[in-house]
Amino acid sequence: MKNIITIAAHELRRLFKSPLAWVILAVVEFLLAILFLILLNQFMNPTPWFAGRGVTEIVVAGLFQVSGIVLLLVTPFITMRIFSEERRTGTIKLLLSSPVTITELVLGKYLGTLGFLIVLLALIVLMPLSLLMGTPLDLLQMFAGLFGLFLLMASFAAIGLFVSTLTSQASVAAITTFGVLFMLWIINLASTTGGEVFRAIFSYLSLLKHYDSLINGMLNSVDVIYYLIICITFVVLSIWRLDGERLHQ
């Protein structure tokens, strides 16, 4: 456990040492702030389309919806260097020759990355929270959405973590992660064609479908378990991959 914390703290510290982390925080916050203002403006000047929907549904859920897409674009840049850079610079040898198991190593790196994503999440959620000064919000719906966003990020990070164990080129890891995430995002489009079973499978696999119900305030165990399965699967795959690499390089 101590080792996991050491590695996680080191990962987080190194992320904040690079300009990349700060730029990501700034850009994401900037883009989402613009969207937040647009959504707020729409709510203040309602069109018939918005009739009967509250501020939480329009502004908060809308913001989370877009945040999911922005994170899909941004997370690969955070996860790309997790292992690929260690391998390229040879620092992985320091880790492998230390009294640290591969499991501790992978979990430490994963938690450190999640730590950064939680900071990002905190910055995002400050915007809807600021509405509390002027209007009551459906806090439960908001927290369901927030939880959904966290699960979504954790899944992105787990997939990115695994991809970064496959290569020593950070940019290759980034583009591959993006490809995988985007595919999982739009896979439900495939469900518009084909038979009943086909449709059910593809719409279950889609990251988007499960996220939609969470940001609308529905906390289904199916959705939560879906994300947990993704996280655990890719963390375990990363452990296997690194363990196997020592034998078959």
Partner 1 sequence: MNSETLISINEVYRYYGHYCAVNNVSFTVARGEVLGFLGLNGAGKSTTMQIISGVLTASSGSVSIAGFDIMDAPRQAKSQLGFLPEQPPLYNDLTVDEYLDYAARLRGLDRKNIKPAIDMSKRRCGLQDVGSRLINNLSKGFQQRVGIAQAIIHTPAVIILDEPTIGLDPVQIREIRELIKELGRDHSVILSTHILPEVQAICDRVLVIHEGRLVFDQQMKNLNEEKQDNFINLAFRQSPAPDALENIDGIKGVEQISERRFRVELNAGSMALDNLVRDSVANGWGLIEMSPQTDSLEETFMRLTTGARESA
Q: Which of 52/90 has CB closer to partner 1?
A: 90
Least distance in Å: CB of 11 to partner 1? 10
Amino acid letter for position 168: S
Is residue 246 close enough to count as binding partner 1 by CB under 8 A? yes
Among the candidate windows 1-9, 21-29, 61-69, 200-208, which touches partner 1 by CB under 8 A?
Answer: 1-9
Is residue 193 close enough to count as binding partner 1 by CB under 8 A? no
- Among 41, 91, 130, 171, indicate the residue that binds partner 1 (CB under 8 A): 91
| Other CB atoms within 10 A of residue 28 CB | 18
- Name the 3-class secondary structure at 188: helix
220 in the Ramachandran plot: left (φ > 0), alpha (ψ -120 to 50) or beta? beta
Q: Which of 17/37 has CB closer to partner 1?
A: 17
12 in the Ramachandran plot: left (φ > 0), alpha (ψ -120 to 50) or beta? alpha
Least distance in Å: CB of 131 to partner 1? 39
Among the candidate windows 95-103, 178-186, 201-209, 225-233, which touches partner 1 by CB under 8 A?
Answer: 95-103
Site for partner 1 in 2-31 (CB under 8 A): 2-3, 6-7, 10, 13-14, 17-18
Q: Which of 34/94 has CB closer to partner 1?
A: 94
Task: Please give the span between the terminal C-alpha atoms of the chain, in angstroms, as a whole number.
Answer: 28
Is residue 249 close enough to count as binding partner 1 by CB under 8 A? yes
Query: Which of 37-66 are b and which e, b meaning 16 or more Cβ less than 10 Å from the residue's Cβ?
Result: eebbeebeeeeeeeeeebbbbbbbbbbbbb
Site for partner 1 in 149-178 (CB under 8 A): none
CA distance 152 to 147: 9
CA distance 79 to 164: 7
Is residue 1 close enough to count as binding partner 1 by CB under 8 A? no
Q: Which residues bind partner 1 (CB under 8 A)?
A: 2-3, 6-7, 10, 13-14, 17-18, 89-101, 246-247, 249
